[in-house]
Every structure is written in structure tokens, then in C-alpha cells.
Amino acid sequence: MAGNSILKHREAVLAALVVVLALGTSLINPNFLTLENITDLLKANTVSGIFSLGVLMVIVSGGFDVSFTAIAQVTQYAIVLLMLERTEGNIYLAILAAVFFGIVLGLINGAIIHYYNMPAIIVTIATQSLYYGIMYVVTRGRQINDIPSFFWSFSNAKVVEFTSPAGGTYGLSLITALWFILAVILYVFLRHSKLGRSIYAVGGSRISAERIGFNLAHTTLFVYAAMGALAGLAGVVHVSIVQSVIPSSIVGSELQVIAAVVLGGASVTGGKGTVLGAFLGVLLLAILSNSLTLLRISSYYSNVFTGLIILISVTANAIQVQRQRRQRVRVQIDKA
């Protein structure tokens, strides 16, 4: 498949940055590069990681979504209420219901964007506010602290477990493993499935895709539905980590996730981006914010970084495109 040297190059640079930053951070905090800290860090970033997979798909298809945090928030609230209603709830039911609910909200986005041919960013700004607003109206912003215990077991489960010298246990969380498995599935899907390739094709050129007979409605609806499904799942993962439903705890983090994906090489104009890139992007931002905390730099700065990263990545892409275009016009100058 596409021997996309620019993206490969980008991934190598990101990987190197991750290593350098991790080494740098371990100079300030010698515990940083311990297995315990790394698995904790991964666990803390699992929600962003799951979001990033959906955002990657949406951006590659040439779309955009800022409503996924609202979808996660609303779904989370609804599912926890649902589980509190029932006596025999379990995590499988919770996940299933959340994914279903997320798909419905995602499909609403996709349908408006496709059938009314509207700019995705505008539509999802509107639906973010709408979904979130309805939740507030219905719940009056009430916080839920009494969470069914299976949520806690879910976030606490480990795939591999170690005992620390101090007696505590640590290891690779089930939820982190879930993120990795989804990433691998998405990787295979985007590279080798027909639908996956059509997402790249549509992102590369909508008109061309239409002309060779792609069904644009399928691709668009699928992408936003998948984003919704992943957002629903992320909502469940989030509540199982945080152990309470705070209506304002997820919305607001969407730009962070988008920044990670764009940093990973996804082009906001569509058609470009990889799972590995998005993964490295999430990782890099996670380490960065971790070391900012260590250096006692105010968390207010993290917004500044997010903004800068999005700006720099987008400009870097634009400059690259310009340079390529310029290199193509080249006149063989005659020798006198």
C-alpha cells in the first residue's frame, strides 16, 4: 500500500521525541520510567486514546467532530442512571448500551452532515451544545457519586499484574489493553478493508470517490457512527476510572484529543493519517503534560500547548504541501 514516506518520517520523528521526552522526564523524576508509572500513565490516558481512534477516522475521511466529548458525557450519564435502575446490571450490558447510544448520537451528526451537506465543524459544534444542554436540562447538573461497583472492578482489572515492593499491585490495565486491541483492529481495518480504504479515498477527494461509484452516505454515516460508538465506550471507561458522574468532566477535552491526532500526522484536509501516528501523538501529549506537572508548571499552560500544537502541525502540513508543489515546477535550464 501507499509508501507514504512523509508520514513514515513523521512517525519516526514522533517516536524519537517520545523517547527523548521520556528520558528527559526521568531525569527530573527517576520513577518516571518504572513499569508502575508507565502503566499508570497509560491508564490515565486510555479515555483520550479511545477517543483518538474515532477522531482519526473522522479526520481521515475529511470530516471533523467536536461533539464526541458531549456524546461520551451524555452516554455516561444515561448508562449510569440505567444501571442504577436495574438490579442485575453488569459491565457488558453497560458497554453494550453505551455503544448503542453513542452510535445513535453519532448517526445524527453523520446524517445532518451528509444529507444537508453542511460543514462538519459547524454541525458538531451545534450538536455538542445540544446533547450537552439537554443532559443539563434533564439532570439539572446533578452529580452522581453512588456508582455500581462493577464499574470499579472494570477499571481496576489487570491483564498482567505485579506486586510492588511496598505491597501494592500494578500492571497493564484491562481498559488499556482494550484501547490497544481497538487500535490494532482499527489499523487492520483502515489498511485492509474496503470500507477503510474508502475512508481514505473519500478524504482524498469526495468528487473522485463519487465518480467511481463509492457510496458517500455509507462512508460518512459509518465514520460518525463509529466515532459515536467509541465515544460511548470512552464514557464508560471514564466513569469506571473516576467513580462518579460529574456532568462537566469530559466536555472541554476535545481539542486535546484533536491536537494529539493532528500531531500524529492526520491532515485536517482529509485523506491522511495513521493509527500509529495518532497513538504516538496521544503518548507524546501525555508525557508532556506529566512532565509539566512534575515541573510544577500551571495546568493553565496546557491549553497554550494544545493550541500551539494544533497550529504548528497544521502550518507544517501546509508548508509541506506548498514545498512539494513548488518542487514540481522545475525548469531544466539550458547551458549557454
By the criterion CB under 8 A, which residues form the site for another protein?
1-4, 192-198, 200-201, 203-205, 207-214, 271-272, 324, 326, 328-334, 336
Residue 8 CB, shortest distance to another protein, in Å, is 12
Amino acid letter, residue 93: L
Of the pair 30, 213, the CB lying nearest another protein is at 213
Distance CA 63, CA 278 (A): 16
Q: Which position has the grid cell 469506571?
A: 240
Residue 269 CB, shortest distance to another protein, in Å, is 9
Q: Which position has the grid cell 448520537?
A: 105
Residue 227 CB, shortest distance to another protein, in Å, is 20
CA torsion 215→108→281→9, rounded to 10°? 10
**All residues at 6 or more sequence positions from 302 whose CB lies less than 8 Å from its CB, including other chains:** 256, 289, 292
H or E element at residue 161: strand 158-163
H or E element at residue 169: strand 169-173
Q: Are 2 and 60 in contact (CB under 8 A)?
A: no
Amino acid letter, residue 188: V
Residue 11 CB, shortest distance to another protein, in Å, is 16
Residue 333 CB, shortest distance to another protein, in Å, is 4
Of the pair 5, 145, the CB lying nearest another protein is at 5
